[in-house]
Amino acid sequence: MFRSVIRCFSNTSSVFKGPRNYVNRKTGRGSGNAVLARFEWRHEKAFGRTFQKSMAMRYGIDTGLEDRLLLGSLGSKQRRLDDKKVIQLSRIMEERIAEVIGTDEILAKCQIQISRVRVDRGFTQVSVSWLCRGDGDSEIEEVLEKSRHQIRRRVGELISVTCPEIKFIGDKSLLMEEEMNKLFREADYGMDYRSLSKSASVLGNIKEGEGTPKEKNIPKWLTEIRERKRNRE
């Protein structure tokens, strides 16, 4: 009788207390499905990463994770980048180089405009094209050549990866375009064709009203009515 009472009391106490989860003494982690209060920070951190990744995949939010993964994968010496990674790395390097040039006092005074940045497939060289304006291009080239190693070091600090060799190339496309426009303005196309030929009005090379006026086809009955009115007057 006494044993049955003790057994019943133990069973009821276990029901009130609930199931006891196993807790590892070394790590302190339990085996239950519920999240304990002391492990809440782990749950929030893991759930936050999953939420950011799912939102980025669904709505295309730029979290910067892809850029960090790409920069972290550049540790291998034998690497060949595909076209997508080359474009992505070129964009990253362009942003970092522009940031370094904009924050430097000497380079900021030169007002350098970067037109294009290209990274090779082996990530061994970065080609930076800057717009030539004609005036002071030689001074800008000397300043860039002197500051090349400093720019490389600061870019490496920003991307947390060893920056490859930087090569500055002068882009003369703007100067060539201005020179062509100047040649077209000063070009001699000969005598004006419209002043010599009447066929220009037919071809549509002159404005309306400059050519010979066209005669309107007046109907016969209208001319007869007008003549009668004149005779009556």
Domain ranges within the chain, ordered by starting residue: 78-177
CB 178 within 8 A of CB 116: no
CB atoms closer than 10 angstroms to residue 62 = 8
Instruction: Tell me how far apart the alpha carbons of residues 131 and 51 are, in angstroms, rounded to a whole number.
Output: 43
| Confidence (pLDDT) at 126 | 92
**Mean pLDDT, range 137-147, rounded to an integer:** 89
Strands 165-171 and 114-119: unpaired
pTM recorded for the entire structure: 0.49
Is 142's pLDDT higher than 60?
A: yes
**Mean pLDDT, range 121-137, rounded to an integer:** 87
The confidence band for 21, taking pLDDT boundaries of 50, 70 and 90, is low
CB 81 within 8 A of CB 144: no
Q: How far is CA 18 from CA 14, 21, 35, 134, 137, in A?
A: 6, 9, 16, 83, 81
**Mean pLDDT, range 133-161, rounded to an integer:** 88
Strands 125-131 and 114-119: antiparallel
Domain 78-177 CATH assignment equals 3.30.300.20: yes
Q: Which residues contact 206 (CB under 8 A, 6 or more apart)?
A: 194, 200
The confidence band for 68, taking pLDDT boundaries of 50, 70 and 90, is low
The confidence band for 227, taking pLDDT boundaries of 50, 70 and 90, is confident
Instruction: Tell me how far apart the alpha carbons of residues 130 and 197 are, in angstroms, rounded to a whole number.
Output: 50
Is 14's pLDDT higher than 50?
A: no
| Confidence (pLDDT) at 214 | 57
Enumerate the β-bridge partners of residue 30: 23
Instruction: Tell me how far apart the alpha carbons of residues 19 and 33 are, in angstroms, rounded to a whole number.
Output: 12
Task: Indicate if the alpha-carbon torsion angle 15, 18, 22, 24 is positive or negative.
Answer: negative
Instruction: Tell me how far apart the alpha carbons of residues 39 and 35 are, in angstroms, rounded to a whole number.
Output: 6
Tell me the two tokens of residue 143. Answer: 């300043």
